[in-house]
A = this chain, B = another copy of it.
């Protein structure tokens, strides 16, 4: 394996671990639990599931892979805080979307060459990238992995 290939493998493993932990956690929670707050007065489980769906599926666009599946959910889960009075999809729809989005990402990730992970993403200009080649697709994946872990630690608090 080349250094690039080893690196991509590591980063994808790290991503997969968080996705798989999140999936197990969400599966272990009942619909009623998902509607609970992670702590008194804080976000509810459903909000964080929705938030992670829209943020993670954002990679489809940032990496130029395909159109997003739930761009219409950004108002509810990204641009506004929880309990802003907006309609949420049902937990059934959210659970299915979680699975669909990550299956789709996983499929795309498998087909990306190691080299392409080291190339710039769509939100960067060629100029910026020339200045800092560490701001590539892989670095976005690392940040999104940490972001997922951050909220996962919160949703885990619902579990008794």
Residue among B1, B7, B39 making CB contact with A157, cutoff 8 Å: B39
CB distance from A31 to the nearest CB of B (A): 20
Chain B residue numbers with a CB within 8 Å of A142 are 10-11, 14, 142, 145
Q: How far is the CA of A143 from the CA of B150 in the complex (A)?
A: 13
A6, A147, A151, A153: which has the most chain B beta carbons within 10 Å?
Answer: A153
Binds B, one of A54-62, A72-80, A120-128, A130-138: A130-138
- In the complex, the count of this chain's copies comes to 2
Beyond A10-B134, A145-B146, A149-B153, 6 extra complex contacts between A and B, CB < 8 Å: A7-B7, A11-B142, A14-B146, A39-B39, A152-B153, A154-B154
| Number of A residues with CB within 8 Å of any CB on chain B | 35
Give A7's nearest chain B residue, CB to CB: B7
Q: Cβ of B134 and Cβ of A13 under 8 Å apart?
A: yes
CB distance from A114 to the nearest CB of B (A): 9
CB distance from A108 to the nearest CB of B (A): 20
